[in-house]
Amino acid sequence: MGARTAGELDLDLDKLFAARLLAVRTRPYLATALFALHVVESRRVPTMAVDRHWRCYVSPVFVNRTPVEELAGVWVHEVSHLLRDHHGRGDRVARERGLTGPGARLLMNIAADCEINDDVFGDGLVMPEGAVTPDSLGLTSGELMEDYLRRIGLGSGMQHLAWLDCGSGADGLDREWDLGSDGAHGLSAQQQDAVRFRVAQAVKGRPGSTPKGWKRWAEEAFHPPQPWRELLGAAVRSAASASGAGEDYSYGRPSRRSAGVPGAVLPSLRRRPPRVTVIVDTSGSVSDAELGGALLEVAAISRAVGGRRDLVTVMSCDAAARTVHPLCRAEDIPLVGGGGTDLRTGFSRALRTAPRPDVIVVLTDGQTAWPDDRPPCRTVVGLFPRDGSRGGSWVENDPDYEPDTPPDWARVVTIG
């Protein structure tokens, strides 16, 4: 830190720690993370900044001129950057979209600030002076840093934000004041994970008052949601290529190697393309775009695992015919059946066809009865969540209402 000349301010640690205490009192679930930050006095940061090793750089002048209640907000804001891994995500975005230079990183900092500021304040915590919110940029709140980053550009009207700097912990760009990975009091990646885990547990343990953004973060901190296309693809692919279907060894034809081992019966590789039947059952709550996307996805996957178009069959219920008919015509898929909203009739109809399908894929919103017995083929369920029933089924007018959940013999992928 070097020798101080007369007239330079000392860092008012009492004020800074009083603010942290206030932050801990209003947001008890963040206590572990707030206390894990190591304070470093720095005259080169404009306000407060964090680095990727959980050090918090503090400007004495900033602490001096900012009231305790606003400082508490800044503490929570800075620790949010670290908990939400903005530096790691910033690096990933930069790599994916080819963003370089400090200008892009400043935008990332602003986008990350938007993600934090839209729901972290209030309820005992004051928003610091000059904090940037999605509203102030004309954006809708409640989105992620990556989404905001797409919307904003360094045009006019953003220049006044150029003073803003939350450090390398917020956008991944190393600053000259950073102590780096060799410096003292840094947290290793595992220690950071441990702190995140403790905070996530604390958030999950507190029903009710926790802001939605934190709840979402706690849910996804260690299990980021996967795109449904990948999950559905993996489920259908594994169902279609599992033994009994698809490419596998069979004794139906002599092996190429039989000549080498006379007298022995060896299996040979045979291709038996899987038959896939798609049962579409919607009660009108599913958008055509979603349904079309899912249906095309299933068709593409069954082709990828060696299926032919004539082996993909679609059975529809009346409500969905509007989408399903043209799609099947365009894709050259035979459309069978129709009518009946009870999924059980769909199953029995699909199983009556000869030869029997290897895989049944059901696209449904789940508001239906399911067969009691496991069907004699692999089943994948693509489940469209109904409006308002995300995160567990619950109907406002009838709290006791509980639709049947898909049975455990089916592999369930939530779509959308």
Partner 1 sequence: MLLSSPSPAQLDVADELLALLRDSTTEPRPDDQLEALTLAVAADLPVLLWGEPGIGKTAALTQLAESLDLPLTTVIASVHEPSDFSGLPVIGDDPAEQGVPMAPPDWAVRLVKAGRGLLFLDELSTAPPAVQAALLRLVLERRVGALRLPAGVRIVAAANPRASAADGWELSPPLANRFVHLQWTHDHEVVVRGLGGTWPRATLPVLDPERLPHAVDHARRAVCGLLATRPTLVHRLPSGETRRGGAWPSPRSWEMSLRLIAFATAAGSSREVISLLVRGTVGDGPGLELLASLDRMDLPDPETLLADPAGAELPERGDLRQAALDGVVAAVGARPEKSRWDAAWALLARAVETGAPDLVVVPATTLAALRRAEWDVPPTIERLAGAVSMSRRADEAAALVANAPVAR
Q: Which long-range contacts (CB under 8 A, 24 or more apart) does 218-227 make?
A: 221/83, 221/196, 221/197, 222/196, 222/197
Confirm or reject binding of residue 218 to partner 1 (CB under 8 A): no
In the sheet where 38-41 sits, what is the strand order? 38-41, 55-58, 48-50
Pick the stretch among 41-49, 120-128, 146-154, 342-350 that binds partner 1 (CB under 8 A): 120-128
Confirm or reject binding of residue 388 to partner 1 (CB under 8 A): no
Selected binder of partner 1 within 179, 194, 336, 351 (CB under 8 A) = 194
Strand partners, 280: 316, 363
Tokens of 413: 């992928």
Confirm or reject binding of residue 288 to partner 1 (CB under 8 A): no
Site string for partner 1, 322-361 (x = CB under 8 A): ----------------------------------------
Cα–Cα distance for residue pair 214/35, rounded to 1 Å: 18
Cα–Cα distance for residue pair 125/70, rounded to 1 Å: 8
Selected binder of partner 1 within 11, 305, 350, 362 (CB under 8 A) = 305
Q: Residue 156 or residue 190: which is nearer to partner 1 going by CB?
A: 190
Q: What is the CA radius of gyration of the chain?
A: 29
Residues 13-32 that bind partner 1 (CB under 8 A): 13-15, 17-22, 24-26, 31-32
Confirm or reject binding of residue 413 to partner 1 (CB under 8 A): yes
Pick the stretch among 35-43, 80-88, 331-339, 387-395 that binds partner 1 (CB under 8 A): 35-43
Q: Shortest approach of partner 1 to residue 87 CB, angstroms?
A: 15
Of 61, 54, 45, 52, give the one whose Cα is nearest residue 164: 45
Confirm or reject binding of residue 225 to partner 1 (CB under 8 A): yes
Give residues with Cβ within 8 angstroms of 153, minimum separation 6. 107
Of 11, 9, 6, 10, give the one whose Cα is nearest residue 58: 11
- Relative to beta strand 312-316, strand 335-336 is parallel
Confirm or reject binding of residue 230 to partner 1 (CB under 8 A): yes
Confirm or reject binding of residue 238 to partner 1 (CB under 8 A): yes
Confirm or reject binding of residue 234 to partner 1 (CB under 8 A): yes
Q: Residue 125 or residue 328: which is nearer to partner 1 going by CB?
A: 125
